[in-house]
Amino acid sequence: MAEPGATILAADGVTLRFGGVRALTDVSFEVKAGEVFSIIGPNGAGKTSMVNCISGRYRPTSGRIRFDGADITRMPTRRRAAIGIGRTFQNLALFGHMTVLDNIMVGRHHLMRHGFLSGMAYWFGGAQREEIAHRREVEEIIDFLEIQHVRKAPAGTLSYGLRKRVELARAIALRPKLILLDEPMAGMNLEEKEDMARYILDLNEEWGMTVLMIEHDMGVVMDISHRVMVLDFGKKIAEGTPEAVLADPHVRRAYLGEADEVVSEPEEALAP
């Protein structure tokens, strides 16, 4: 496991093409162990494509990605999860008819030697002991994310904010070293966003989890990120502390739309 401050994830010249579309062009960056690192940029800038290259859903057309000392560029997705890369999705991906508890247990499935409640092995093969240990871990996550009151409820019956929290619980059930969060606050009200921001910070500070996040809410990004990378049309245009990125003229032009303000007419000129 990388020491705090050492490079845990490194993308080197990552390019991704879909036919004629260049989703990413020569993107390089490093995430340090223990960081909250955010990727921001306008719609279609390549943020999800980058996260998909890291999680294994997409293979870069060229370039390399290293994680915790291993070259993962062509590694299968399942193997990446096993070596410590967890993720949540932009759109919820829970089993609606299953309870919260079972949804989170599914997240731990591949860590279980005996499979999920596999027949005779459950009683005689040590699988019972193993499942008890897994349940204990899951309960710890349930406590941490304060979802005890809904642990037996079918996931599909919960509010959107709670479902997002369950999805986070399932992703951290793997105890990843790096968690990829794709718009964790999307569609949330202010209170839900504040809760989620606090859970992400606690995960980072108390559990030592490195976080790579895509998020559109600039307030949240600036509040909880140690460093931010900005993509625009698939290219990296800035990287640094939230303050430095906010002050960067390229970012202001490309992302915050300041160019529009500069070229717009004075208000009097628009009056009839």
Ligand X SMILES: Nc1ncnc2c1ncn2[C@@H]1O[C@H](COP(=O)(O)OP(=O)(O)OP(=O)(O)O)[C@@H](O)[C@H]1O
For the chain, what is the radius of gyration of the CA atoms? 21
Distance, in Å, from the CA atom of 244 to the CA atom of 226, rounded to the nearest integer, reads: 11
Residue 124 beta carbon to ligand X: minimum distance, rounded to whole angstroms? 47
Which residues fall within 8 angstroms of residue 78, CB to CB, at 6 or more apart? 110
Does 41 help bind ligand X (rule: CB under 6 A)? yes
Site string for ligand X, 10-39 (x = CB under 6 A): --------x--x-x----------------
**Helical pair 100-108 and 160-172, crossing angle rounded to 10 deg:** 30
- Kindly state the tokens that stand for 142: 């349930």
Q: Which is nearer to ligand X, 174 or 237 (CB)?
A: 237
Nearest distance from C-beta of residue 234 to ligand X, angstroms: 6
Work out whether 240 is an interface residue with ligand X (CB under 6 A). no
Work out whether 59 is an interface residue with ligand X (CB under 6 A).
Answer: no
47 binds ligand X (CB under 6 A): yes
Residue found by looking up tokens 């809904």 in the block: 150
73 binds ligand X (CB under 6 A): no
204 binds ligand X (CB under 6 A): no
What kind and span of H or E run contains 40? strand 36-40
Q: Out of 38, 49, 55, 103, point to the residue binding ligand X (CB under 6 A).
A: 49
43 binds ligand X (CB under 6 A): yes
Give the DSSP letter string of 85-134: EEE--SS----TTSBHHHHHHHHHGGG-TT-TT-HHHHHHSSHHHHHHHH
Binders in 147-166 for ligand X, by CB under 6 A: none
List contacts with ligand X (CB under 6 A): 18, 21, 23, 41, 43-49
